[in-house]
A and B are shown apart, each in its own frame.
Chain A
Amino acid sequence: MTFDEAVRAHARELYRFAFWLARDRHLAEDVVQEALLRGLRAFPSPHDGTAVKPWLFTIVRNDFYRTRGGAPALESLDDVHAELADPRANLFGLELRDALGVLPAGLGERLALQVLGGFSCAEIASMLETTEGAVMTRLNRARQALRRLVEPARARDRKGAQP
């Protein structure tokens, strides 16, 4: 696969992944653009055994954090709950996309890699240089948190739908 073919094949996934990193549409395209320009020189040869898709996601991620101040620290699982203490999350029931925006960056990133990139927990662990167990725990927590965040809105909708 040439670089051009790889970019065309994965552009949409990369853009969406960058969106959930940057949480801004214009910035997302810039992030992908800059990462690909830098990645062009290091594009893996078809013979060196590097899988292109995780490589592309990794350069987008690395480039985003390199130019924007480093990856989010998310060392303790307690941080997940602490960071979710967003006032909006407590006061309102959120739609799912809004709720994703309230998730801590590290959780949103892992979800995006899994849901949009289609990577397994083991692959994500390898890309993020962490353990598979840690990735599984965080993804589990992320889904639970999302459900908690959207539940009030759903309960309201259910109530409103009752005759």
Chain B
Amino acid sequence: MNCLDYRRILLAGEGESEAMRTHRLGCAACADTHRDHFAFEAELRAAMEVPVPNGLESRLARRSATPFDPARRRWLAAASVGVLAAGAGLYVWRGRDDSMAMACIAFVMKDEAKSVMMGAMPREEALRMLAETLPLQRVERIGRVQHIVPCPFGEGTAYHVILMVPQDKVTLLVMPDTPMPRRGRATQHGMYASVVPAGRGSVGVVGSSAAVVDSVVGAIRA
């Protein structure tokens, strides 16, 4: 190794190899370069380490991470939704669009991203709030819950759930205070929505495939 090689590698920021070290120990000029380089590197690192906003880690983790165990019962989800989907798709999506189902599609189009950015609610709270309408355990048997948070919806509040089923992503809007006398459907912007009675309230299911929406509805009502 010569001085040129030594300095080229050093200034590229690579660690000092044994060959470089041997050269430095026998070369006063490169020993000076080495000292100067490490002083500069310390300054460079300090300059690049811009202050990090307080609470960044927990804020990012809270917003990004699913509050639920992602591995839980995936096989069961795959099996149940797969079987249901096979029998679904026979529903005919025709007739007058239901206004509540239309509102569910509008929510996904306009407000879903905003809701995701709000972060997820704690699982314990979700268990409690959904218990009388659509128990969370039942949702978790259908697919992997990726996000859940309360959102203003219509005249009241809905619990916005993003659910990954084997075929697709679906959105659930669990509305504990919005009763529905019967099922309503709508299709718009390439999306399908179905709203069904559940407990004292109702649940809206939105997805990009009629068969998947029907199969999830079937699983909810089962």
Q: A residues bordering B, Cβ < 8 Å?
A: 2-4, 7-8, 11-12, 15-16, 19-20, 25, 29, 32-33, 36-37, 39-41, 95-97, 100, 111-112, 114-116, 120-121, 135-137, 139-140, 143-144, 146-147
**Of A29, A37, A96, A136, which is within 8 A of B44 by CB?**
A96
What residues on A are CB-neighbors of B47 within 8 Å? 95-97, 100
How many angstroms between the C-alpha atoms of A3 and B41 in the bound complex?
32
Any A CB within 8 A of the CB of B8: yes
How many angstroms between the C-alpha atoms of A4 and B114 in the bound complex?
21
What residues on B are CB-neighbors of A37 within 8 Å? 63-64, 116-117
Q: A136-B9, A139-B12 are in contact. Are A111 and B48 (CB under 8 A)?
A: yes
How many angstroms between the C-alpha atoms of A132 and B151 in the bound complex?
49
**Of A8, A16, A20, which is within 8 A of B57 by CB?**
A8
What residues on B are CB-neighbors of A144 within 8 Å? 11
Q: A8-B57, A15-B56 are in contact. Are A40 and B14 (CB under 8 A)?
A: no
**Does more than half of chain A's interface fall in helix, strand or loop, or is it mixed?**
helix
Q: B residues bordering A, Cβ < 8 Å?
A: 8-9, 11-15, 40-41, 43-45, 47-50, 52-53, 56-58, 60-61, 63-66, 70, 116-117, 146, 164
What residues on B are CB-neighbors of A41 within 8 Å? 146, 164
Say whether A3 contacts B52, CB under 8 Å: no
Q: A12-B56, A111-B48 are in contact. Are A136 and B61 (CB under 8 A)?
A: no
How many angstroms between the C-alpha atoms of A36 and B60 in the bound complex?
8
In the assembled complex, 14 residue pairs joining A and B whose CB atoms fall closer than 8 Å, in A order, are A2-B70, A3-B64, A25-B53, A32-B60, A33-B64, A36-B63, A40-B66, A100-B48, A114-B13, A115-B41, A115-B44, A116-B48, A140-B11, A143-B44
Say whether A8 contacts B44, CB under 8 Å: no
Looking at the assembled complex, report how far the CB atom of A39 sits from the nearest CB atom of chain B, in whole angstroms.
Answer: 8
How many angstroms between the C-alpha atoms of A155 and B55 in the bound complex?
39
Say whether A19 contacts B50, CB under 8 Å: yes
Looking at the assembled complex, report how far the CB atom of B207 sits from the nearest CB atom of chain A, in whole angstroms.
Answer: 16
**Does more than half of chain B's interface fall in helix, strand or loop, or is it mixed?**
helix
What residues on A are CB-neighbors of B41 within 8 Å? 115
Looking at the assembled complex, report how far the CB atom of A9 sits from the nearest CB atom of chain B, in whole angstroms.
Answer: 9
Say whether B48 contacts A3, CB under 8 Å: no
Say whether B49 contacts A136, CB under 8 Å: no
What residues on B are CB-neighbors of A36 within 8 Å? 60, 63-64
**Of B13, B15, B53, which is within 8 A of A115 by CB?**
B13
Say whether A115 contacts B64, CB under 8 Å: no
Q: A115-B13, A115-B44 are in contact. Are A7 and B49 (CB under 8 A)?
A: no
What residues on A are CB-neighbors of B40 within 8 Å? 143, 147
What residues on A are CB-neighbors of B146 within 8 Å? 40-41
How many angstroms between the C-alpha atoms of A29 and B53 in the bound complex?
9
Looking at the assembled complex, report how far the CB atom of B133 sits from the nearest CB atom of chain A, in whole angstroms.
Answer: 26
Say whether A140 contacts B12, CB under 8 Å: yes
